[in-house]
A and B are shown apart, each in its own frame.
Chain A
Amino acid sequence: MDSVAAALVLGTVGGMALLGLWKGGGGYEAFLRGARDGLHTGVEILPALAAMMLLIGLIRVGGLAEVLEGLLGPLAEAVGFPREALTVLLLRPLSGAGSLAALEALMVTQGPDTRASMVGAVVVGSSETIFYTLTVYLSAAGVKKLPRALSISLISWLAGCLAAAWLC
């Protein structure tokens, strides 16, 4: 973690400690209450995480990503997106760890400063694990359906990926 972020984390905690002592009746009771709520929420989202992990695990080892890459390769090259970076692109909305592993593999095979690796790195850095975020937030909130959330997220993500290809 870089020092700016570290300073902000510590500053936040220090600020909360001050606030708790000054106005929140010490802060300890409040902390326990919030932590308990957090723990309960965590338990509630575990089933959704299991569903997600099952899917991601099978996609990663089963070869579905390779099939999609074969199908999407020509299309990607037509719009100027390097075919080699497709694995990174396809895993990114599903799994943060998975896309980082794919980026690492890409940099090892192609070299870290090639165009494909640069595009892959920008794709990972500029986007979010869309399916994971949606799954976790919606299941924690108990919301079954939120129209437009997935479609807008996916389209704007694709726009970011195209931008990555054109900028590198």
Chain B
Amino acid sequence: MRRVWGILLLLAVMAALGFRRWGEGAAAVLAAGNQALNLGMTLMGGMMVWGGLMAILQESGAMGPVSRWVRRLLQPLVRRELSEESWAAMGMNLAANLLGLGNAATPFGIRAAQLLAGQGESGLRGLLVLLVINNSGLELMPSSVMTLRQQAGSIAPGAIWLPTLAATGISTLVAVVLLCWTDRREKRG
């Protein structure tokens, strides 16, 4: 990951130099810090509110039902014991993602990642499953894309709904298959 970053950064600078986009390139560099702060502020806002609500859930000891359904769903992939709190955070993350509430999903995902990181090898396994499922783009209703299509004057903004659902399903399926397949190879090797 870290080497990928350095290589891409170098290539991006070389492209900017080669295309003589020096001014734009320099401006992008100077703006990057500000953009990171803006995005961070948005994230922090969400993390304060959802983190606070999540703490109430934790304090009241009502984590059980939330963690149970996601556990039932993901246990065949995780196959390790994880704390109830981390299952609950994963469940909230998954639910928010499915509903397309990205601003709520990220704080829960981050919380889950932190909780999982403190649980040794089984936690890292849970984190791998969480990331792979997250990255396969599960979402029931791609509302931001449909809104964009409507604004662009599409005659049927919703026409992409079923293909999108199918595509995200296929990508999740491929992710699960790959995970199981590499598990087997690792066990053998």
> A residues touching B (Cβ–Cβ < 8 Å)?
1-2, 4-5, 8-9, 12-13, 16-17, 19-20, 22-25, 27, 30-35, 37-39, 41-43, 45-46, 49-55, 57-64, 66-67, 96, 100, 103-104, 107-108, 112-113, 117-118, 121-128, 130, 133-138, 140-143, 145-146, 148-150, 152-153, 155-157, 159-161, 163-164, 167-168
Check A38/B106 contact, CB under 8 A, given A31-B56, A137-B113, A141-B117: no
Q: Are A55 and B40 in contact (CB under 8 A)?
A: no
Q: Mark B8-43, 1 if CB is under 8 A from A, else 0.
A: 110111011011010011011101110111011001
Check A27/B56 contact, CB under 8 A, given A107-B149, A160-B168: yes
Q: Which residues of B contact A150 (CB under 8 A)?
A: 1, 4
Indicate if B153 sits at the interface (CB-CB under 8 A): yes
A167 to B39, CA, bound (A): 34
Q: Are A35 and B110 in contact (CB under 8 A)?
A: no
Q: Are B175 and A152 in contact (CB under 8 A)?
A: yes
Indicate if B83 sits at the interface (CB-CB under 8 A): no
Check A59/B8 contact, CB under 8 A, given A126-B142, A156-B171, A159-B170: yes
Which 5 A-B residue pairs are closest in the complex by CB-CB distance? A34-B55, A38-B51, A160-B171, A125-B142, A62-B16
Indicate if B87 sits at the interface (CB-CB under 8 A): no
Interchain Cβ contacts within 8 Å, total number: 326
A-B contact list, 20 entries, CB within 8 Å: A4-B99, A24-B59, A31-B53, A34-B51, A38-B46, A46-B36, A51-B5, A54-B29, A61-B21, A62-B24, A63-B16, A125-B160, A134-B135, A136-B110, A137-B134, A149-B128, A152-B179, A153-B132, A156-B171, A163-B171
Q: Are A52 and B128 in contact (CB under 8 A)?
A: no
Give chain A's interface secondary structure class. Answer: helix
Check A103/B148 contact, CB under 8 A, given A125-B164, A160-B136, A163-B167: yes
> B residues touching A (Cβ–Cβ < 8 Å)?
1, 4-5, 8-9, 11-13, 15-16, 18-19, 21, 24-25, 27-29, 31-33, 35-37, 39-40, 43-44, 46-62, 99-102, 104, 106-107, 109-111, 113-114, 116-117, 124, 127-128, 130-132, 134-137, 139, 141-146, 148-149, 152-156, 159-160, 163-168, 170-172, 174-175, 178-179, 182
Check A53/B163 contact, CB under 8 A, given A153-B175, A155-B174: no
A168 to B5, CA, bound (A): 33
Q: Which residues of A contact B153 (CB under 8 A)?
A: 112
Q: Which residues of B contact A22 (CB under 8 A)?
A: 60
Q: Which residues of B contact A96 (CB under 8 A)?
A: 102
Residue ID in chain B nearest A99 by CB atoms: B145
A5 to B14, CA, bound (A): 44
Q: Which residues of B contact A13 (CB under 8 A)?
A: 53
A50 to B135, CA, bound (A): 21
Q: Are A38 and B44 in contact (CB under 8 A)?
A: yes
